[in-house]
Structure 1
């Protein structure tokens, strides 16, 4: 049965803001739900603490404080916390929703990862932890379940500070261990204390697991695993997977040293070491391209992308919900738990009774070490003969210049598929394979990855769509709607898009602005003061049914003096338009000066016929002939469609043109 259907929170609105759509996962400490923030209209993940914790005032106080601290962290590899609140008995966090899978899912799907790819998973985690450490925060529960891999290949860490919040509950007391046994540092086991170096230790264990496909320690009970963390040295990953390079072994050994003082000082220090180890690895072309300590290129990982059935069923929930278990439970080494340290079996001499043993030299290991030393010496001699050379740093150079430089260094050069980049100019080198500094045989192939410049997107065809649908389609392709204006149209129904600016198909930078022109519907043109023949032809061409009424008026005969419907009215196509046309006064029309004997009649000039000319050219021509000009916008084109009066007119007469 689908438990989300019976969950009482599904369908409710938390705090009047978060509408719970479905349950994503359930753990011993909290349940995670997919929800809609109705205030901001965005999808979020809401983590709701279980009632046993929510009823504990000490936990609620610590939980609120930790949530505020985490919300202040702004880093691309940390799942953002948006909000924290309470709704009755529910204490919750509102977080960024990250569709994808956990690092635990990746291990289930693929098993161990190649060294380069394992580092490309861990480096963003260290970047996130480093940002938290610099802000004075400790994660306390680093493990694959708390590392999310988005569908586009980004790595994000979740659940900062929640283990610390649980420490404040009345359910825990002195002598309790809080964390995940498989990744718990020796000092967490023995004293219960955790600092930034405990996060470093857990990350080292996680790197070991990514490299080998298993955790370094196994045991029948959680306490037997905890004992081994305290009293044994984490084995080198190469002892499980022989082809792992020594630089990776050294990184794991430093991070998992039993003495915190001998580990990297914090995640940032380990990050520097991890990046250096990554740069020293030879490129195989099978694991993608690492682009820096804050993330991975989309598609950098190979293998299936869908979460396994087990994950879908909730056994590997996203957002690190964890399993907080009571003493005496038997969780796996990957579950967050609360466990008494008194359960650790210690003998009278301080050694656990089941694990005391005498040191015996391993002659096979010593022999292999001597062979390794000889191999290193031989490798150094081989390099000194010039057989191997370092790949030059070509990033940022023009592709042609970089090709020449690589060829001069003795490499064969190939040009790879260009990638979009917002910062790197087109035809500059984004990356090389192998990377800069890698020592490879002279004559080997070096692939240059050029920049295609910023990604551009063609403006989508949205003509005929409603404004809402047009906005959605523009946003879907990665563009933004800018200015929205309205214009009359006799072909596009009201409320639909007439055109875009830039025009459809024009390629613009991703995130660029597209302006929309929306139809205001079919509006009646204002043809008053236009001559009858011009107005009638214009309206009939537009599909209107024109009816003429003549009346005496003190205006030049043939002038339209009124219309119904009036100009600017919204009308239907084919509507009837009544035009009232002047036939002059009943006593005959006269020029004004004909009744004024004090002034001589003015000079008459032929009015230039400027119809169908550009409006600016028409204005200039009429003014040059000695007339005043009034311009009226009728259809919004640049061509004159009407002019009144025409024929011979006195100089200085005002001529009206329509366009």
Structure 2
């Protein structure tokens, strides 16, 4: 029978946005569907909480708060949470859809993995947990069902925060433990408390299972397995299979019964795992393969409707008094015989759990106020008024929240916590700004490196002639050196083009030769017959604006200097220059500002062309020269 056909949610449009297409997994807390986000036109995995949880207001409040926290956790090995919401009696989570298999599927198919391959899966798992731990988040239900292996070989962890949300339900406030028995730490079994070291314990159990193909404890009932987590020591994997000592050590450290004896968090275990992987010899083994696609359910394959390792919700008192079961009674394996001392101890534990349940039933709960965006001092005062203890952590930069204001809190606003609990405030350091470093005099590559080190990017690169600075070195930046700019800003560079060949075309022979000599060029002058005005430059080599070295040999070609301009005018215009009535004296504009010179020449009826040979503000040369006669509309070239 196809279970998806009978599912009433299939085909429904949730919240006016998510069209549910099929059911792909069902677990102890939720059902996972494949859905289309019609607003963004993308496929998502929709995790819908079971009705018994959705009807509990405390769970819904905690679920929403945890979803916000998880959504802020951006890490390549964590399944990204896009959105959360409610639609009538449906409480859901919208997540990244990850085609592939769960780690549980791989274990079913292969039994166990070589030690090196097991670490290659555990390392990204620990990286994901470590990122969460650094943000104050605890997974609380780490198991192979919550690890996804994508078709392209990536490893992703799912279901952060759901176990914590479950703890907010009414049924869990009177001594009920939450988690998956096979991976539950002793402190979770005994007290229900979990911190980052509880995740480390679960990771150690997972590593044991990957290497051996089985969990360290079994029993007829979940309670008997939980009992063994509290009272037994996880055996070394090498006692069951041929495993290297490095794996034995890693498992032993991670699964120590006392939390203080374990690595401080998943990042610490990650460092140890990477070292172990580096020291292990390379093995030849086929990589895991993936077949059909699965959503990030963290539960089981599509074909099952009951999870292999369900998240357990069970009375804690049963664990403290439950026998280990006939499969492998720990007392008999260790040569230990029960005595009256242990009977008395068990009785005392039962009494302690009863008193703990009574205590929690008397505990008062308050809602964490919405503090984000408020002044840190005001936020601390507001939290203190309702009995909360505030811890202010190191600040973080943010473009939107101003300096000295609350950037985030843990737990988030509107979360339910015990009166007197500690909440953590992260203050904003405001927008991060970096200083444009001094890269003047560096070449383009070194300048780019220095910009990158400062958190900036290389922008556009241009060149400007500058004979005083060697070619290719930075002379200027935009924004300027020393300016404070947003991190990631592109900085444009102006490089020196070194010595650039001046444009002397149209200049008189003597002035061109003198100017080029002053600039350090060796000058050769060639006269040729040409229709151009006598004794003016008609060609040059190297060409104008070419980048050259000081002392370069340059040649200028000029029209032959014989005869005057009147003869030239007559030859080229078919008439005697002396017969023209509209001749006027060209004013001398040398040493005048370019603007004034242009205005004066235009007022005399001449056209003006400006050429740059030194980027100065004054006229250096002009052609025709001042004092010569020329007809109106003659082009006068000025060089500055």
TM-score, reference length from structure 1: 0.48
Which protein is bigger by CA-based radius of gyration? 2
**TM, length-normalised to structure 2:** 0.49
